[in-house]
């Protein structure tokens, strides 16, 4: 029995030593050297300004559809609950076709769930000429007001709005979150782990996403990727532009800041903050991560990323998403 516990202690101790050598702890994930191990349930805006820079280069990394092969899994839940809650069972095929294009293959890919829901409803309205069976589509006035209000687009903020239409949106969002939380572990794209290891050696790193904070922390922790990043910034901390801008402020220059993502919103974030953009191209994710590890990071460190190479990446990325729906 003593030997059993000695072996268990030895195994745990080795993990702790390995974590210390990486400059982070098993409990906090990224970069909190010198601090006592502690389990962070979520991160805050303060974390974006307080993590100690180890390098003069910052990489901001999106999550769903970028690190995790989770877009199809999560969107299936989104769309199923949308159809159920708004009573669209009679036109399920049409709704799924519209929703899948908006969510996965259009320039709106990667939006916050409430922005995405609004865009799906608005696209359904526009698609009536092609799908006459659609009939009356859901009301969007209150949802549009919430999305454009400037508040953090989260369940907690939505709870503050006393509106019947938004209560249905909240019910939908809570059920979506419940089902996603029940998924044991999201699959990670091949090549991500190796690339994050290289990033950790030469740059500071944060997660910047419009997924809920709770889901992000759980998914990065379950995949044992949290140790590669300093902060995980979800929807509750603000927009991607706000989170990246806060982390950069007076610490990282635009030419030394790289946004890594799979959606037009990630490109917009890079442009708004003056930084650079590396696309994880939908449908070609594994090759994208290999290119980032083998070429993109070296160019970032050497100062040869901007210009021709950056323009080449953006052209390839834009070609992967169409603004024209397949039914038009």
- Tell me which of 302 and 328 has the higher pLDDT: 302
Distance CA 109, CA 136 (A): 25
- Model confidence band, residue 94 (pLDDT cutoffs 50, 70, 90): very high
Q: Which pLDDT score, from 0 to 100, does residue 156 have?
A: 93
DSSP string, 56-87: S-EEEE--BTTTBS-HHHHHHHHHHHHHHHTT
- State how beta strands 231-233 and 257-261 pair: unpaired
Question: Do 175 and 84 share a structural domain?
Answer: yes
221-230 confidence digits (pLDDT tens): 999 999 999 9
Distance CA 109, CA 75 (A): 11
Query: pTM of this prediction?
Result: 0.81
**Boundary (domain end) residue, out of 136, 153, 181:** 181
Distance CA 66, CA 93 (A): 27
CB 89 within 8 A of CB 141: no
Question: Do 163 and 98 share a structural domain?
Answer: yes
Instruction: Give which of 57, 19, 107 is closest to 255, Cα–Cα.
Output: 57
Distance CA 180, CA 50 (A): 30
Query: Picking from 20-34, 140-154, 228-242, 267-281, which range would have the lowest pLDDT averaged per residue?
Result: 20-34
**Boundary (domain end) residue, out of 181, 216, 249:** 181
**Boundary (domain end) residue, out of 166, 181, 196:** 181
250-286 confidence digits (pLDDT tens): 999 999 999 999 999 999 999 999 999 999 999 999 9
Question: Do 191 and 79 share a structural domain?
Answer: no
Find tokens 């050497």 and name the residue. 302
Instruction: Give which of 297, 301, 259 is closest to 278, Cα–Cα.
Output: 259
Structural domain count of the chain = 2
Q: Does some domain include residue 15?
A: no
Q: Which pLDDT score, from 0 to 100, does residue 41 have?
A: 75
Contacts of 198 (CB under 8 A, 6+ apart): 293, 297
Both tokens of residue 246? 């806060």
Distance CA 88, CA 185 (A): 30
Q: Which pLDDT score, from 0 to 100, does residue 128 have?
A: 94
Residue 176, domain extent: 71-181
Distance CA 220, CA 146 (A): 29
Q: Residue 261 belongs to a domain with what CATH number?
A: 3.40.50.1000
CB 120 within 8 A of CB 102: yes
Both tokens of residue 100? 């899948």
The SS3 call for residue 109 is coil
Q: Does some domain include residue 25?
A: no
Is the pLDDT score of 200 beyond 70?
yes
Distance CA 293, CA 199 (A): 8
Q: Which pLDDT score, from 0 to 100, does residue 184 have?
A: 85
Instruction: Give which of 42, 46, 13 is closest to 218, Cα–Cα.
Output: 42
Share of the chain above pLDDT 70, in %: 88
Question: Do 156 and 250 share a structural domain?
Answer: no
Distance CA 72, CA 103 (A): 9
Q: How many residues does the chain have?
A: 328
Q: Which pLDDT score, from 0 to 100, does residue 28 have?
A: 29
210-219 confidence digits (pLDDT tens): 999 999 999 9
Is the pLDDT score of 247 beyond 60?
yes
Is the pLDDT score of 83 beyond 60?
yes
Q: Does some domain include residue 236?
A: yes
Distance CA 134, CA 212 (A): 31
Distance CA 94, CA 97 (A): 5
Q: Which pLDDT score, from 0 to 100, does residue 37 have?
A: 33
CA distances from 279 to 62, 78, 216, 266 (A): 10, 24, 20, 8
Q: Which pLDDT score, from 0 to 100, does residue 40 have?
A: 67
Q: What is the mean pLDDT of the chain?
A: 88
CB 220 within 8 A of CB 232: yes
- Tell me which of 301 and 33 has the higher pLDDT: 301
Query: Picking from 9-23, 133-147, 174-188, which range would have the lowest pLDDT averaged per residue?
Result: 9-23
The tally of CA atoms less than 13 A away on the side-chain side of residue 167 is 3
Q: Does some domain include residue 8?
A: no
Q: Does some domain include residue 41?
A: yes
Question: Do 135 and 248 share a structural domain?
Answer: no
Burial of 59 (0-12, 13-18, 19+ CB in 10 A): buried
Share of the chain above pLDDT 90, in %: 84
Both tokens of residue 192? 């991500």
């Amino acid at each position: 029995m003593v030997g059993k516990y000695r072996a268990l202690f030895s195994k745990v101790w080795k993990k702790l030593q390995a974590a210390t050598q990486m400059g982070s702890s098993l409990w906090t994930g990224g970069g909190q050297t010198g601090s006592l191990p502690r389990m962070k349930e979520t991160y805050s805006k303060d974390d974006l300004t307080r993590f100690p820079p180890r390098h003069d280069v910052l990489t901001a990394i999106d999550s769903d559809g970028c690190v995790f092969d989770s877009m199809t899994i999560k969107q299936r839940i989104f769309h199923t609950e949308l159809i159920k809650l708004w009573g669209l069972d009679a036109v399920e095929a049409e709704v799924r076709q519209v929703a899948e294009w908006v969510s996965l293959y259009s320039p709106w890919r990667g939006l916050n769930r409430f922005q995405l829901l609004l865009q799906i409803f608005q696209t359904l309205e526009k698609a009536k000429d092609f799908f006459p069976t659609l009939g009356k589509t859901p009301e969007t006035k209150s949802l549009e007001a919430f999305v454009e209000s400037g508040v953090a687009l989260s369940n907690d903020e939505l709870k503050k709005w006393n509106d019947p239409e938004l209560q249905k949106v909240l019910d939908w969002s809570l059920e979506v979150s419940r089902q996603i939380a029940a998924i044991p572990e999201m699959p990670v794209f091949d090549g991500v782990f190796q690339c994050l290891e290289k990033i950790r050696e030469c740059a500071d790193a944060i997660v910047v996403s419009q997924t809920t904070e709770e889901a992000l922390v759980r998914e990065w922790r379950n995949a044992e990727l949290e140790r590669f990043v300093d902060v995980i910034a979800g929807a509750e901390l603000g927009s991607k532009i706000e989170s990246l801008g806060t982390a950069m402020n007076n610490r990282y220059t635009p030419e030394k800041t790289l946004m890594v993502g799979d959606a037009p919103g990630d490109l917009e974030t890079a442009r708004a903050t003056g930084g650079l953009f590396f696309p994880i191209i939908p449908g070609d994710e594994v090759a994208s991560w290999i290119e980032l590890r083998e070429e993109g990071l070296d160019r970032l460190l050497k100062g040869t990323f901007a210009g021709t190479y950056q323009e080449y990446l953006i052209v390839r990325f834009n070609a992967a998403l169409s603004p024209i729906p397949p039914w038009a």
